[in-house]
Amino acid sequence: MTTHISRRSLLGLAGAGVGAVLLGGCADDEPTGLTSPQQIDWWHIQNTDPMLPVWAEMARLYQTRHDKITIEVKPLENEVFKAELAKVTKAGSPPDLFQSWGGGLLREQAEAGLVKDITSEVSPWIGQLLPAALQPYTVDGRIYGIPFDIGMIGFWYNRDLFAEAGITSPPTTWAQLLTTVQKLKSAGIVPIALAGKDKWPGHYYWAYLAMRIGGLGALRQAAEDGNFNTPDFVAAGEHFRQLIDLQPFQPGFRRAEYGSSDGQAAAMGNGEAAMELMGQWAPSIQASSSTSKLGIGGQLGFFTFPTVEGGKGEATDAFGGGNGFAVGRNAPPATVDFLRSLLRSENQRWAAETGAVLPTNLAAVGRIKDPNNQVVAAHLAVASGFQLYLDQAFPPAVGEQINKSVADLIVGSKKPEQIVKDITRVAQKQ
């Protein structure tokens, strides 16, 4: 099922900090008695600065407080992680603590008995977290994972390159976006960076267009009947083709990965492209992937995905999700306590201050210092609705087909009316 979050549950992301600080101070001391030797195998995808050393230090500090606990940390690149996780879960032996985006895959893992129901263990402290962030990790009323951040997808852009092309303000409609791309190309500037090899970044365009054209109701209906072969989804593909036909992406985009030294984030971080459609983590990955390791600094701006004339979707409907962790079925008892430590207010504040995380602990929300993340949080605070990434919201087979089909659309091997049939065929087998 897709995950829809109401405006009410998102309110407070940007403004809850002052009153919520008291909440963080109410946490009980960590339980004692974790004295039996235990090893926790922890897989995460924050394999670059700034979060790579932060996670490592949090694990080290936890081990210092619990000398019988050993934490084996395994940072993995996103696509490598997905492939590795698929292998070990197929064999029935998931890691003790591992990256999760919730949604359809977590439901499948829960139904297969691969992850622990941690509802009772987290109930004493779960009230410190944003309810909206928990929804993708809740299956039939039970909690199987904990989110450590939440955010949304939007356009990150280079203010200097926009000014160079004579663009005075970000586009607010699809027609204006197409005009913006044309102006950038005329100025000899690469309009958009895209990781074509990874596929998942491309699906953001089609998904957002489907939301803007059909509204969240179209996604909700597709989740119920598995039918994507509708005018709204076809129109999403047709609109995306309008952009693709302008050849807006950097040379070699088909071979480009997201976080590599010559990938999508690096193109933005090195000032080689004017825009990318990406999540709240983009500024930090742009910086760490750039030659200078600093990115473009104050040149970076953010704007929400444009509206489509005549569309049913709201301009304030957001598309995105968050990062979290699930607990493997054979995880030792200390695993949930370690997970709790990662979500403590002081550690969430630490993560927030890196600029790579929009925290889910209410007491840490006010510690968002990065100006870009403050902008994202402000947009989320007034969101009228929320849709989880399609490749996570739906069952894995459907998510994989969406990514593949959109990639086919981008390279021109399939037409809009063909990809919706391919996705529907897979969805109706689930």
Q: CA-to-CA distance for 224 and 105, rounded, in angstroms?
A: 16
pLDDT at residue 7 greater than cutoff 90: no
| pLDDT for res 74 | 98
CA-nearest of 34, 278, 18, 69 to 157 is: 278
CA angle 146, 149, 150 (to 5 degrees): 110
Q: In this structure, what token pair is assigned to residue 376?
A: 């994202």
- Asked whether the predicted pLDDT for residue 83 surpasses 70, the reply is yes
Instruction: Count the residues in the chain.
Output: 430
pLDDT (mean) for 348-359: 92
Q: Beta 138-139 vs 142-143: how paired, if at all?
A: antiparallel
pLDDT at 26 over 70: no
> Which two three-digit tokens encode residue 94?
């998931």
Q: What is the pLDDT of residue 31?
A: 55
* Cα–Cα nearest to 303, from 164, 160, 173: 173
Residue 403 has pLDDT above 80, yes or no: yes
* pTM score of the predicted model: 0.81
Q: How far apart are CA 313 and CA 214, in angstroms?
A: 6
Half-sphere exposure of 96 (CA within 13 A, CB side): 19
Rounded to an integer, the average pLDDT of 34-53 is 93
Instruction: Please determine, for residue 20, whether its predicted confidence score (pLDDT) is greater than 50.
Output: no
Q: Does 408 have pLDDT greater than 90?
A: yes
Q: Which of 20-29, 41-50, 287-296 has the lowest mean pLDDT?
A: 20-29
3-state helix, strand, coil in the chain (%, to 5): 50, 15, 35
C-alpha to C-alpha distances, 51 to 3, 6, 269, 354, nearest whole angstrom: 27, 29, 17, 7
Task: Give pLDDT, residue 22.
Answer: 29
Rg (CA), the chain: 21
User: Out of 233-237, 276-280, 307-311, 366-370, which region has the weakest mean confidence (pLDDT)?
Assistant: 366-370
pLDDT beyond 80 at 335: yes
Can you tell me the distance from the alpha carbon of 145 to that of 321, in angstroms, rounded to the nearest whole number? 14
Task: Specify whether the CB–CB gap between 194 and 200 falls below 8 A.
Answer: no
At 149 the three-state DSSP class reads strand
Report whether pLDDT(104) > 70.
yes
